[in-house]
Structures are given as C-alpha cells and as structure tokens.
C-alpha cells in the first residue's frame, strides 16, 4: 500500500524499531510452528490422533495469521503504530498455512482419496466454506507484490477487501466443523467479528480522533 505524503506540519519522529526491522524474519519465524508440528507428528509427539491434530494446528495458525493481518489497521487507528510493512508477509503466511492445512487433509487424512475429497467439498458445508476461504486467498496471494499494486491501482484495494470474506469463512469453518459450541472456535469467531466490525466504524472514529483526539487538542492548545 502507498502511504500518502504526510502534511509538513506533522511532527517528525525518529523511525521506530518496528519500522526499521526487516520483513524477512517474519517469514522465517512464521514457518517455525509448521516445521515443529511436522517434526512432532513424524516422531509420534502429536498424541493419539496425530493427523487430526496436525491438520487442526495448521488450521488454527491460518486463522491466527488472518487475525494478525486484520489487526494492522485497528492498531494503526488506535495507537498510531503502523505495522503495514509486515502486512503482506502476514497475509501470505495465512495463505501458506491454509494451503498446508488443506494439503494435510488431502494427503495425510484422506490419503488422496479424490472421490471423498470432492464429495466432502461439495456436500459438507464446513468443508465447502473452508475451501471457499482458501480459494479466495489465491487471488490475494497472487497479487501480493508491488507490480500488482501498481498495475491494479485502486482496484487492488477493492480486491483485497476479500480478506474479510476469507476471515469470516475461516472462523465459520472452524465453528461448524466441531460438535457443540466449545470455547476455542467461539473465541476466534468473536475476534474475527470484532475485527470486521471495526471496519464499519473506523472511518468515523479516525475522523473523530483527528478533530477531538489528544493530538488535535495539544496542537490547538
């Protein structure tokens, strides 16, 4: 995303630590859970149902990266701290984890039984919804580069609003894939709901903050 040129009157701060750090360690760190769980799974460390556990953990991390991606804007709105530099990495990691989650289901759980996989995707609402989330991440992942941003212009922003649908699909996929209403999927759904809800109220909030917030108060006083 392009940051607009700030008005000259804005105070100039020294760049914060989080904007000086490079992005590549995010990718490196983000892959650690997947590698670690794979190692545990392969060595008998994932309990009585290792395939299900592995699948589940990869799914959880997909949701976590989606949540982190969606947190960048509210954090900036509320605190002024901009982590936008890392957002592409976080979004891409959500896609990679989603892809690994699906691969684990396809390879380890269903052992490439395509008839069942196709049937599952077509017939089981929670798998259909999960699959929808994954498929919708493909155009987002493909266009997560500078060339696409330049090329697509304002359409890029419109396209990337799909991440809201993806996050909702992910949370729903989790909640309807389980028996009853256990706490964990409900908590994730609540977090996603709050993050999506924020998109509805952030514009008035940001405007209000600019006019009546502490910064406006000090500059006028």
103 is a contact residue toward another protein (CB under 8 A)? no
Give the integer Cα–Cα distance in Å for 122 and 13.
Answer: 53
86 in Cβ contact with 25 (< 8 Å): no
Q: What is the smallest separation between the CB atom of 93 and another protein, expressed in angstroms?
A: 23
Tokens of 59: 């799914």
170 in Cβ contact with 133 (< 8 Å): yes
User: 175-178, long-range: CB within 8 Å, 24+ apart, which pairs?
Assistant: 176/125, 176/126, 176/129, 177/126, 177/127, 177/130
119 is a contact residue toward another protein (CB under 8 A)? yes
52 is a contact residue toward another protein (CB under 8 A)? yes
Give the integer Cα–Cα distance in Å for 112 and 105.
Answer: 9
Between residue 165 and residue 194, which ones bind another protein under the rule CB under 8 A?
A: 176-177, 179-184, 186
Tokens of 30: 């983000």
* # residues contacting another protein (CB under 8 A): 33
Q: What is the smallest separation between the CB atom of 157 and another protein, expressed in angstroms?
A: 35
2 is a contact residue toward another protein (CB under 8 A)? no
Which residue among 1, 25, 29, 113 contacts another protein (CB under 8 A)? 113
Which one, 16 or 184, has the nearer CB to another protein?
184
Q: What is the smallest separation between the CB atom of 188 and another protein, expressed in angstroms?
A: 14
83 is a contact residue toward another protein (CB under 8 A)? no
143 in Cβ contact with 152 (< 8 Å): yes
Of the listed pieces 1-9, 95-103, 116-124, 206-214, which binds another protein according to CB under 8 A? 116-124
Cα 162 off chain centre by: 11
Give the integer Cα–Cα distance in Å for 170 and 191.
Answer: 12
Which residue among 76, 124, 202, 209 contacts another protein (CB under 8 A)? 124
Query: Which residues are at the interface with another protein (CB under 8 A)?
Result: 41-42, 44, 46-52, 54, 108-111, 113, 116, 119-120, 123-127, 176-177, 179-184, 186
């Amino acid at each position: 995303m392009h940051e607009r040129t700030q008005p000259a009157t804005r105070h100039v701060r020294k760049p914060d630590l989080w904007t000086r750090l490079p992005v590549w360690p995010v990718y490196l760190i983000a892959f650690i859970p997947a590698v670690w769980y794979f190692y545990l799974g392969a060595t008998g460390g994932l309990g009585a149902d290792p395939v299900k556990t592995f699948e589940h953990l990869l799914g959880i991390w997909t949701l976590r990266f989606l949540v982190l991606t969606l947190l960048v804007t509210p954090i900036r709105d509320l605190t002024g701290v901009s982590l936008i530099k890392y957002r592409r990495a976080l979004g891409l990691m959500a896609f990679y984890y989603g892809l690994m989650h699906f691969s684990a289901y396809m390879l380890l759980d269903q052992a490439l039984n395509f008839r069942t996989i196709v049937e599952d995707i077509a017939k089981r609402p929670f798998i259909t919804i999960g699959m929808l989330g994954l498929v919708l991440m493909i155009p987002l992942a493909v266009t997560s580069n500078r060339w696409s941003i330049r090329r697509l212009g304002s359409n890029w922003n419109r396209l990337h609003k799909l991440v809201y649908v993806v996050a909702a699909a992910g949370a729903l996929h989790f909640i309807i894939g389980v028996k009853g209403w256990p706490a964990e999927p409900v908590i994730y759904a609540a977090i996603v709901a709050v993050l999506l809800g924020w998109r509805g109220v952030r514009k008035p909030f940001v405007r209000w903050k600019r006019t009546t917030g502490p910064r406006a108060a000090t500059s006028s006083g």
